[in-house]
A and B are shown apart, each in its own frame.
Chain A
């Protein structure tokens, strides 16, 4: 007699009546392959845990975003937000699609240069730019977005030394009716700081003010806030035109579009409730088009989207290490990946799918990571089919920030592969090794000798 696939026996109380297979949020549809590459094969070739990026999804999402804006506005340029995912292969996909780069540190700036991005297609944001960074950016004619007055004065000093006219924009923060207000970056609009800075730049006549930049927040669920922000930036642009007779070349609306992740505590699934690129584009583009600008004078619209372009393209494959029964009767499943490499689980209810076929019976469980720390919780409460040691799972929508903010803690950071357009996996970042980690450390000679 042929044996049947085994499933752990489970029993579930029905007293509240909500716990049958139609009632609760279940994520048990198995995901056995990503873009045609089998999850099992990926894990056996590259190990577990493993980050997988889908080139197909990146290109598709990017094209969708570009379409949403270019069908509504004549001049649009995206600049890839390096901090979201600065793996060179990922950046190169965006550059192939036509994206400039947006960086916030000397490290990112040099990464972009090495990736082959021309200096004048790099936007340099952020409060931390060293003298070396500024000199490099000025010589390369990059777009320097000034964050504070100290930086403005330093650039003025540097122009005298370098005998160059830097291309600059200022970052403006403002009240768009959205809480919290990001007033720690750039110059405030309402208090007149921004207008002051503009006057200083133009009147000192040492650099060219070519753009205005804002970034109103992150994971913004209200597109209308962008309309408010665009209107306020245009208002500044008009003042500049009427006082100095100068046209601004571009308006940079920053990023902050939400991805299809589900924020903790939200009732509806993120994928069903977050605004689409079309919603954001409609808000921003109508604000620009409804302004008093003539069609020829309309500024270039720059977008620095990161999360919304790459989050969905990222998957984390993992393996069940163990099952446990907690003292209160709940089931706990321990995975081989923790918050050290999936720190976005602090604020998202990441969707997790089993990577093999299951029956429709489910259990409520907690998903823990492998770290010896109480905070290492991936999902507080999830309904999944009974899984056993060695079973694989796929965590969805992890492409943004995880692979730049991950921590090397207790274990090494895992491999990243990208599945190309033909379903073929490419290793794009090697797993760290003990040798590599140790190569950065120096033990003073006198400590090397001990007896135990």
Chain B
């Protein structure tokens, strides 16, 4: 799972995919995850980082992460290769 190289990500949570021409907005935690994905962080690293920073639990994160990543793929912000 990788964020496509040419995808532009801005401070404000605005995301632009120049291949498709689509733009998106994301919330701060979404932005954080996308940044970590872009930096090639593993899911494990991302989980650790989020769990240490936010009040949540493993299973909630697991569920939400799966859903978020699926949306990134559906929207072609990420490609689905491992």
Number of B residues near A (Cβ < 8 Å) is: 30
Would you give the shortest CB distance from B35 to chain A, in whole angstroms? 12
Q: Is the CB of A7 within 8 A of B27?
A: yes
Please name the residue on chain A nearest to B50 by beta carbon: A6
Which residues of B in the span 61-82 have a Cβ within 8 Å of any Cβ on A? 63-65, 67-68, 70-72, 74-75, 77
* Most chain B beta carbons < 10 A, residue from A3, A8, A9, A14: A9
Known: A4-B55, A5-B55. A10 touches B68 (CB 8 A): yes
B5 at interface, CB cutoff 8 A: no
Please name the residue on chain B nearest to A389 by beta carbon: B60
Q: Is the CB of A15 within 8 A of B23?
A: yes
Q: Is the CB of A9 within 8 A of B30?
A: yes
Q: Is the CB of A14 within 8 A of B24?
A: yes
Known: A6-B29, A323-B67. 6 other contacts (CB 8 A): A3-B55, A6-B54, A11-B25, A11-B72, A19-B25, A325-B70
Number of A residues near B (Cβ < 8 Å) is: 24
Which residues of A in the span 6-52 have a Cβ within 8 Å of any Cβ on B? 6-15, 19-20
Please name the residue on chain A nearest to B69 by beta carbon: A9
A265 at interface, CB cutoff 8 A: no
Q: Is the CB of A12 within 8 A of B25?
A: yes
Interface string of A346-368 (1 = CB under 8 A from B): 00000000000001010000000
B15 at interface, CB cutoff 8 A: yes
A388 at interface, CB cutoff 8 A: yes
Q: Is the CB of B54 within 8 A of A9?
A: no
Known: A13-B22, A14-B25, A359-B28. A8 touches B74 (CB 8 A): no
* Most chain A beta carbons < 10 A, residue from B22, B25, B27: B27
Q: Is the CB of A9 within 8 A of B22?
A: no
Give complex CA distance A10, B24 in Å: 10
Q: What residues of chain B lie closer than 8 Å to A359, measured between beta carbons?
A: 27-28
Q: What residues of chain A lie closer than 8 Å to B25, measured between beta carbons?
A: 11-12, 14, 19-20, 361
Give complex CA distance A12, B25 in Å: 5
Give complex CA distance A336, B54 in Å: 27
Q: Is the CB of B23 within 8 A of A9?
A: no
Would you give the shortest CB distance from B41 to chain A, in whole angstroms? 14
Q: What residues of chain A lie closer than 8 Å to B24, measured between beta carbons?
A: 11-14
Q: Is the CB of B53 within 8 A of A11?
A: no
Q: Is the CB of A5 within 8 A of B74?
A: no
Q: What residues of chain A lie closer than 8 Å to B56, measured between beta carbons?
A: 6
